[in-house]
Amino acid sequence: MGRMPKPIEQPVPSRAELVDHLVRTRIAGQVATPRENNLSHYRKLANGDRHYWFGLELGDRWTDEQDVLAVMAERCGVVDDAAHRYGQDTIDPELTVDALDRMAARLRKAALDRQGVLLATGHPGGLLDVHRATAGALRAAGCEIVVIPSGLVADEGAVWQVADVAVLERGATLWHTHSPEPMAAILDGLAAAGRPQPDLVVADHGWAGCAAQRGLDAVGYADCNDPALFLAEAEGTLQVAVPLDDHVRDPRAYDPMVAYLLSAADLL
């Protein structure tokens, strides 16, 4: 048998190079999510629609759509003009990189302390490989990548790990989900088995929201139409919310971002 080829190493971009790349690939900058979709989600969250709360308990603290918009302008970089109702919206790439730096600091701590880390995604089409690469780097640095209990179910699907990343599966398909229930199934399953909770959760959507709400250290990625994680970061429940388009056309476009993140965390 022939020797397996070595994986191609992704060069680490400078901050300026990464900002340019994020804008060029529309991971940030002028993103594909339209303004009207963003505002609709902010309104639904403010009106108490739990689908948009991502497993967080927001109480009556965010019942004004304009307050939600203000946080999203500050932490994500959407247009802060409330009169801008339709058309293009934005994510500030500088805020994306700032948040990646904050996430890198938490990953570095996890590596230094050899912590147990759980990675999960509700957006497997876009972010599965982002989390997989992070898991691999953390394991190489001596972290324990938490293995979830077998036989877990949630939302009429199975909760599995694919390439070290927890996902929801239905009918042999990995599902896009905002639900917190798969993460709740994992954390409850660990407790039932007498196993410790993760020291750190790296996730997105309701997977991150549920973990943060339960008091675990959690960091995550969030799109500009997913305000809950940014509100949780503003309140100190979630440690980091990285603003980005969470499903651009080519998932390989995230590779420079991951290289920057892992380099900043001293994990390369």
Cβ–Cβ under 8 Å, residues 231 and 70: no
Low-confidence ranges of the chain (pLDDT < 70): 1-8
Residue carrying the six token digits 């304009």: 66
**What angle, rounded to 10 degrees, do the helices at 228-235 and 65-75 form?**
80
Structure tokens at 28: 């940030």
Burial 171-199 (b: 16+ CB within 10 A, else e): eeebbbbbbbbbbbbbbebbeeeeeebbb
Which pTM was predicted?
Answer: 0.95
Whole-angstrom distance, CA of residue 44 vs CA of residue 49:
5
Residue 213: which H helix or E strand, with range? helix 205-213
What's the full length of the chain, in residues?
268
Whole-angstrom distance, CA of residue 118 vs CA of residue 24:
31
Q: Three-class SS of residue 131? A: helix
**Residue 107 pLDDT:** 98
**Residue 4 pLDDT:** 40
**Residue 253 pLDDT:** 98
Q: How many CB atoms lie within 10 A of CB 130?
A: 25
Residue carrying the six token digits 């400078």: 14
**Residue 10 pLDDT:** 80
Tell me the β-bridge partners of 245.
none
Structure tokens at 152: 């877990």
Residue 112: which H helix or E strand, with range? helix 93-112
Residue carrying the six token digits 């876009």: 126
Cβ–Cβ under 8 Å, residues 243 and 237: no
66's CB contacts (< 8 A; 6+ apart) are 82
